[in-house]
Amino acid sequence: MSSGETSLSRRTILKTGGALAAGGFSVIKPELVRGSQANSRISVGLIGVGGRGVYDATIVQSDPRARVTALCDLFDDRIEVGKQKLGLDKPAVYRDFEKLLASGVDAVLIATPPFEHPRMLVAAIEARKHVFCEKPIGVDAEGCFQVIAAAEKADPTKCISVGFQQRYGPVYLEAYRRVQTGEIGELANARAFWIGGDPWQRKPYPDPRIAKLRNWFSYKDLSGDIIVEQDCHNFDVLHWFLGGLPLRAVGWGGTKVRTGMDILDHLSLTFEWPGGMFVNFEANQITPRGFSRIGEEFTGTKSFLAVSRQQMVHIRGPNDRETIDSKRDITYDAIEAFLGKIESGKVENVAVRSALSTMIAILGREAIYSGREVTWKGLYGIRG
């Protein structure tokens, strides 16, 4: 890590309570955001036409405020599948994402493998596009710092959103409100988990370089390992609900079942947050079909909250249990919020807070890999 990165990040961490790290909302006149296209649909380019990218783009395409006009991917079969699933007739097609960024699209969705996120997100910011980038921000600290630096100099009229969709889900927003207003009492303990089956299926390709790229999830240098690629969702919720960053982490993990991949298949961590708050986290991708446990739990001195993408459960006593179900996949809430912010001019820049959430995952990963306690200050050279 360079001294410049350390200095930059120290300033950023100390601003966590401020506008940029907390969310960076600005109110801009819509005509300034959209320019001459203020009365037209938002044109969106998709960078990374894989399963997740097409899913996100389907939500955009179904929204009357926007339309997908361009696709970018290295592989022809991905482009063709994207055209078909999105119902696109003659979209602009690119192999080079920089050429898409140089085009006239208003916004881009970035849904490439995680190792590509920093350079593509930075380039999109510098191209002054509205950006919705899938999580995580990167696979290492260097990538996160690059995004932080770019975000701090970003055009304030452009929206920079990240696929931490819990931040936009109604049940999560309600759970957060109850924690913040003291409805569960003083927060005493928290825990989180992502326990489920293997979401990945490797496919063979004749060229080993293509095989690695298309099976990117199998490799920790491309995916960041499961703790960064997947579990960063949980850490973003903890970052949000606990109002800050952890001080240290210890953890363990390994591979017991999925031996053909260069990544963990199970892990367990304990974090310490300021104020003597100890947080347990557990994850695996080897649980047989039929059971999963994904979400976060918060224990207060008055009551208990469990929250997930499916529901919020508030338990106040033996006979006092309240359940609020999610009405749909909260990805819709996140992407619709992104489009709404572009249309209204009430833009956000959440790149810094999203980078910090990703860095919590990296902290946990380094504790597992090293087999020792790792501190935020020791790993990043900055205050937590």
**What amino acid occupies position 188?**
A
Average pLDDT over residues 292-306: 98
Distance CA 34, CA 70 (A): 18
Q: Are 232 and 361 in contact (CB under 8 A)?
A: yes
Q: Domain range holding 307?
A: 167-328+363-380
pLDDT higher than threshold 90 for residue 282: yes
Q: CB of 370 within 8 A of CB of 376?
A: no
Flag whether the pTM goes above 0.75: yes
Instruction: Provide the CATH number for the domain around residue 223.
Output: 3.30.360.10
Do residues 144 and 42 share a domain? yes
Determine the pLDDT at residue 24. 52
The token pair that represents 121 in the structure block: 């997100």
175, 293: one domain:
yes
123/248 same-domain check:
no
Q: Considering the domain boundaries, does residue 357 fall inside one?
A: no
Q: What is the pLDDT of residues 241-263, one digit of tens each?
A: 999 999 999 999 999 999 999 99
In angstroms, the CA 250 to CA 367 distance is 5
User: How confident is the model over 86-127, as pLDDT tens digits?
Assistant: 999 999 999 999 999 999 999 999 999 999 999 999 999 999
226 in the same domain as 125: no
Give the SS3 label for residue 161.
strand
3-state SS class at 345: coil
Inform me whether the pLDDT recorded for 326 exceeds 50: yes
Which pair of structure tokens corresponds to residue 368?
């597992």
Indicate the number of domains in the chain.
Answer: 2
User: Residue 383 — pLDDT band, cuts 50, 70, 90?
Assistant: low
Whether 121 and 151 share a structural domain: yes
List C-alpha distances in Å: 329 to 82, 158, 169, 213, 282: 21, 26, 8, 28, 23
Nearest to 190 by CA among 208, 171, 176: 176
78: three-class secondary structure by DSSP: helix
- Is the pLDDT at 25 greater than 70? The verdict is no
User: Which amino acid makes up residue 290?
Assistant: G
Residues 175, 186 share a domain: yes
Could you please report the per-residue DSSP string of 99-121? HHHTSS-SEEEE-S-GGGHHHHH
Check residue 244 and give its pLDDT.
96
What does DSSP say about strands 304-307 and 293-300: parallel, antiparallel, or unpaired? antiparallel
**58 in the same domain as 151:** yes
